[in-house]
Chains A and B, each alone.
Chain A
């Protein structure tokens, strides 16, 4: 549909628009570079250089070696790759019960293949406790996977401590850092992670580009067999354009990290002030969240109705996790942290990013207030 009038995008945690510099980088690559990076000739070499420059940008941004960056198509692929590439029948796997579906559904799949699974339930804020993981460790525990920050709540997990625990017990440790990479300081060299999943589209890069950081000394089976690309770990002719964008986006995100965090904190405070001034009743869920992610319960209001009404006003927020047909069910993340289905169905996620403005929030708050009042009275 074509929307006339003002539009505000407050769903940064779902995906981000492209940064202008990323657009320029991709556009330039798209127009000039097309060779197959595996080719010997100059066309191939040009492509290879684009790919390796992007790899270097990402390695610098996350503090790892370039040889540790394996490009994939998305965070979900990176997550699948670790689980399916490591776990065999008879192995034990520990993960959280509010991980991304690309972990949970893969765990289900592997359970049917004979992998033993333990799901750790988070506390009421969405944090995974180290002691719960420690209690679950068995002789055959092969891998622990805990997300760096939860995509719905924004809650940040104690990844460093979990990595230490895994190392003490000689267990491999993976973290899904798709939501946190580029939004808070993330230093792979200080963390004892064996594998880290990241993606481009949460940091103003393109959709369709991700990476798995595989710390030196670790090995795993590829998900996609074929040519020898990505050190035999991920076959398929490389996606030069999106990868170039991913590299640029990582560089920009990390170079501007503190500035962006300050901007988003300012916007967040402005938003909360607006809610209070308009006497809107709400509760924020989670704790120690990523900047700008608000998981909010508006009591007595159906989240889906709120999202649709706001959308008709040009304002984008999110309810639960989007699925293919656009149907919204109570979020299992929220029920796992002990919320009743009723409250979960009254909960939305509003997420701000570096491109949002206080003017947008000033446009948003009265509309939000009006719609909540109308929905409560109907």
Chain B
């Protein structure tokens, strides 16, 4: 059987390298591309100390892996659109007191569309990435499913891709565990076999959001002053600037109570942080917007397992409302439902869809 050509998105890490290997083993032709999304020295960082994806080192590694497998590799520049659609949104969300998930936004607003467009231009039939997720064809319909490695499953960050892109996407790692992937990389002596895990947001490689915001938007950050910490409508303390806090945070509040207090709400317009005891952080309701469905005919209301953060167990809930904006009613109250994060709906392993928590 003659198989098609696959555009493989290569970050220079071990996952995308093994994805390429698997694509070739499956009998496809392949071309490797690295999406250059972000320049660390744009925010005052040192380009030489940048070892994350998009660094010269990672791009070079991707090139070396492609060379090992005898396929061409190209770097594609997406820095402008990434800045506009992902980084600026991340900043706006933080300034509005929410906790955004830029990886979700990147996948849904940039990566898939850009890769598919590029695939078309390079005469490729499919795109492939090293995400730990599966795509299965059942009765003529393509479904996005969890990766089999529960610790690595990345279906959570993929809810935003268009349903009609599933048939053009191949996830070769969905059936593998991370340790299997590492073993394959080692066995084939891939250049990227020992690349460390990247957990942080790619454009904040030091994981220091305050540093990132101060470097990127120094003027706006100067205007963010300290303000009141409020509990039950009473001022109980002072915060150092609302962008330094996230929902559920306990440390760094400077409060002395026998029972610990947690951030339960960030109000950017009034420059206040609301705190409460742990039980006050539980809620069984959340509103979700920008909903995207990955199944053909979602019928509401329906029950689903809902995940409200990356790598956390799901919870039983009922989803109701319209197809673009839903209300999630959990069977059990959930801790620290965080505006800006994604709520992803599952039926077993199948991703039904997802949206952004308001």
Residues of A within 8 A of B (CB): 1-2, 302, 304-305, 308-309, 311-312, 324-329, 374-375, 378
Contact = CB atoms under 8 A, between A and B. Distances in A.
B319 interface: no
Contact of B121 (A1, A305, A327): A305
Contact of B122 (A2, A312, A328, A329): A312
Contact of B67 (A1, A308, A375): A1
B121 A378 contact: yes
A311 B59 CA distance: 19
Nearest to A307: B74
B57 to A, nearest CB: 10
Contacts of A305: 121-122
B123 interface: yes
Nearest to B75: A326
Contacts of B120: 378
B105 interface: no
A328 B66 contact: no
A326 B60 CA distance: 10
B139 to A, nearest CB: 31
A327 B78 CA distance: 9
Contacts of A378: 120-121
A328 to B, nearest CB: 6
B159 to A, nearest CB: 28
A291 B246 CA distance: 63
A304 B76 contact: yes
A327 B36 CA distance: 8
Given A1-B70, A2-B70, A324-B56, A312 B77 contact: no
Nearest to B68: A1
B73 interface: yes
B73 A1 contact: yes
B121 A302 contact: yes
Nearest to B36: A327
B300 interface: no
7 contacts: A1-B66, A1-B71, A2-B70, A305-B122, A312-B72, A327-B76, A327-B77
B74 A1 contact: no
A309 B123 contact: yes
A1 to B, nearest CB: 5
A78 B147 CA distance: 56
Contacts of B31: 312
Contacts of A308: 74, 122
A325 B123 contact: no
Contact of A309 (B76, B79, B122): B122
B123 A374 contact: yes
A6 to B, nearest CB: 15
Interface of B: prevailing SS: mixed
B59 A326 contact: yes
Nearest to A378: B120
A103 B70 CA distance: 38
B121 A375 contact: yes
A305 B76 CA distance: 10
Contacts of B71: 1
Contacts of B70: 1-2
A40 B9 CA distance: 58
Nearest to A375: B121
Contacts of A325: 36, 56, 59, 75
B121 A311 contact: no
Contact of B75 (A302, A309, A327, A375): A327
Given A312-B72, A327-B77, 14 more contacts: A1-B73, A2-B70, A304-B77, A305-B121, A309-B121, A312-B31, A325-B36, A325-B75, A326-B74, A327-B36, A327-B75, A328-B77, A374-B123, A375-B121
Contacts of B72: 1, 311-312
Nearest to A312: B72
Contacts of B77: 304, 327-329
A360 to B, nearest CB: 20
Most buried by B among A302, A308, A329, A378: A308
Nearest to B73: A1
Interface in B71-110: 71-77, 79
B203 to A, nearest CB: 16
A348 to B, nearest CB: 15
Nearest to B55: A325
A295 to B, nearest CB: 21
B267 to A, nearest CB: 41
A42 B70 CA distance: 47
A2 B66 CA distance: 10
Contacts of A312: 31, 72, 122
A324 B57 CA distance: 11
Contacts of B74: 308, 311, 326
Interface string B29-55: 001000010000000000000000000
A308 B31 CA distance: 10
Contacts of B76: 304, 327
Contacts of B36: 325, 327
A305 B70 CA distance: 21
Nearest to B57: A325
A42 to B, nearest CB: 44
A332 to B, nearest CB: 15
Nearest to B60: A325
Nearest to B120: A378
Contacts of A324: 56
Nearest to B80: A329
A22 to B, nearest CB: 27
A302 B67 CA distance: 25
Contacts of B122: 305, 308-309, 312
A374 to B, nearest CB: 7
A18 B67 CA distance: 23
Nearest to B54: A325
Nearest to B71: A1
A374 B120 CA distance: 10
A304 to B, nearest CB: 7
Interface in B199-215: none
A374 B72 CA distance: 20
Contacts of B73: 1
A330 to B, nearest CB: 10
B151 to A, nearest CB: 32
